Amino acid sequence: MTKVVAFFPEAAFGPALNSVGIAQAVEARGHRAVFLSDPGFVEVYRGYGFEAHPVNLSEPMPAEQMARFWEDFINSHIPNFRKSPIDQLDNYVKDCWAAIVDSAKWAEKDLPGVLAKIQPDLICVDNVILFPAIKQFGVPWVRIISCSENEIEDPAIPPHLSGCAAADHACHAAFRARFEEVIGPIHDDFNAFLGRCGEAPYPAGQFFEASPHMNLLLYPEAVKFDRAEPLDPERFQYLEGCVRHEAPYEVPMFRENGDRPLVYVSFGSLGAGDVDLLKRLIDVLGRLPYRALVNVGDYAGEYHDLPGNVLISNWFPQPSVIPQVDAVIHHGGNNSFTECLYFGKPAIIMPFVWDGHDNATRVEETGHGFKLPRYDWSEVELAEKLFSCLNDPDLKARLAATSTAMQAAEGPRKAARILDGILNR
């Protein structure tokens, strides 16, 4: 019997496209997938053929302005990207959490009516904050953790957003203490909102809870943390990534270095505004014996006189591109992080915000790639790391093993089987 599964991802391409991958697999099992969406992302889901219903997450504004909200937010914080994760807490992270709490308040105005209209049998939410209407609707709800695994806290692992090494417990403690201090007033405001919605307050620093029904972590098991309290598989399942289906991509011809290794560079949909950094990377890659595809987002007009071994575009179908490249330079977003591992490609991560810090640290300490400071690097350092990506036999073997395990897991299909099981209980 066909059931309705509603997906409500965060208004960012990483969570959005992960949910698309799961929704594609859900529909393959005969159910109907629909999306609850920030108005700026409605057309993204419709572009993949899904029904999508807008839910305002902020004061209503024109669609174009809505679509640019987070891009403008990120660009306003570019000077803060030079700071360490703990030094981003009282600027970028604080502003981000204030906006996220506001989004939960706005969503509560629309969600009850939209849910009543859709009448879902199951709701999947991929966000970092609770939407009380989803918890209270009366059907099972599943939490999807698109970001780093440490979004589900544990005393033995680094706190989310910290970029701390797994064994650096002094770093863990310092970051947790500072986070709770800086975010305290915002958390108090959120708890007051929960109270008005009939929900119990959350402990300090917590904005969401694990679902009692199921929690799906996109994180690959090959890089997962050693927890003091292992996650119960009855409520937590690792998906080994959720790579979606995209149209095939044909690598263009290059004017120079036509037979050399291919590097893909992307800082995600929100990171392309860091034009100066991308220009510096293009300049350096232009002098190295490689070819490079560079995602420049909406800023293609800023680039002139490109080297003959570099091609730019405003967007690439990443799951169709990464299998064809030899190395990737990215920002540590969870889609890029998991897709590189899924296809067995070495990565150099230059993090700037959010769980990019965690993923950059984790890719290096598990031997799947390298972490490089976003700005404080030299041409020699970049060249050396790219050479290691292409020639280190241990790195290649580790990536091959991880890729084999991840592809065998078939993350989207596994998620769809789990959701199907919940629907049939």
Give the pLDDT confidence score for residue 65 in this predicted structure: 72
- 356 burial (CB, 10 Å; 0-12 / 13-18 / 19+) is buried
Where do the DSSP E strands lie in 226-350?
236-238, 262-266, 291-295, 310-313, 327-330, 347-349
Give the pLDDT confidence score for residue 63 in this predicted structure: 64
Residues contacting residue 59 through CB under 8 Å, at least 6 positions apart: 106
Pair of tokens at residue 1? 């019997």
- Mapped onto helix, strand or coil, the DSSP state of residue 190 is helix
How far apart CA 409 and CA 393 sit, in angstroms, is: 25
Pair of tokens at residue 395? 């790195």
- 112 burial (CB, 10 Å; 0-12 / 13-18 / 19+) is middle
DSSP-H helix ranges across 142-231:
169-196
How far apart CA 58 and CA 358 sit, in angstroms, is: 28
- Residue 30's CB: how many other CB atoms inside 10 A? 10
CA 214 to chain centre: 20
Give the pLDDT confidence score for residue 12 in this predicted structure: 82
Q: Which residues pair with 125 in a beta bridge?
A: 8, 143
Residue 41 contacts residue 55 (beta carbons within 8 Å): no
How far apart CA 6 and CA 124 sit, in angstroms, is: 6
CA distances from 210 to 162, 176, 202, 225, 252 (A): 20, 19, 12, 18, 45
The CA angle 45-21-420, to the nearest 5 degrees, is 105
Number of H helices, E strands in the chain: 15, 13
Give the pLDDT confidence score for residue 1 in this predicted structure: 79
DSSP H/E element including 333: none
The per-residue pLDDT for range 233-285, each reduced to its tens digit, is: 999 999 988 787 788 999 999 999 999 999 999 998 778 889 999 999 999 99
Residue 107 contacts residue 57 (beta carbons within 8 Å): yes
Residue 3 contacts residue 30 (beta carbons within 8 Å): no
Residues in the chain: 425
Residue 110 contacts residue 128 (beta carbons within 8 Å): no
Dihedral angle sign, alpha carbons of residues 159, 73, 124, 320:
negative
Tell me the pLDDT of the chain (425 aa) as tens digits. 799 999 999 988 888 888 999 999 999 999 999 999 999 889 999 999 999 999 998 888 776 676 677 778 878 888 888 999 999 999 999 999 999 999 999 999 999 999 999 999 999 999 999 999 999 999 999 999 988 899 999 999 999 999 999 999 999 999 999 999 999 999 999 999 999 999 999 999 999 999 999 999 998 999 999 999 999 999 999 998 878 778 899 999 999 999 999 999 999 877 888 999 999 999 999 999 999 999 999 899 999 999 999 999 999 999 999 999 999 999 999 889 999 999 999 999 999 989 999 999 999 999 999 999 999 999 999 999 999 999 999 999 999 999 999 999 999 999 999 999 999 98
How far apart CA 190 and CA 104 sit, in angstroms, is: 9
Q: Give the position of tokens 């993090």.
A: 351
Beta-sheet pairing, 141-145 with 327-330:
unpaired
Estimate the crossing angle of helix 356-365 against helix 334-342, to 10 degrees.
30
Q: In this structure, what is the dihedral angle of CA atoms 82, 85, 91, 97, given to the nearest 10 degrees?
A: 140
Prediction pTM value = 0.92
In the chain, the domains with their CATH numbers are: 4-244+410-423 (3.40.50.2000), 262-407 (3.40.50.2000)
- Mapped onto helix, strand or coil, the DSSP state of residue 378 is coil
Q: Phi and psi for 145 in degrees, rounded to 5?
A: -105, 95
* DSSP classification of residue 79: G
The CA angle 53-213-200, to the nearest 5 degrees, is 85
Residues contacting residue 232 through CB under 8 Å, at least 6 positions apart: none
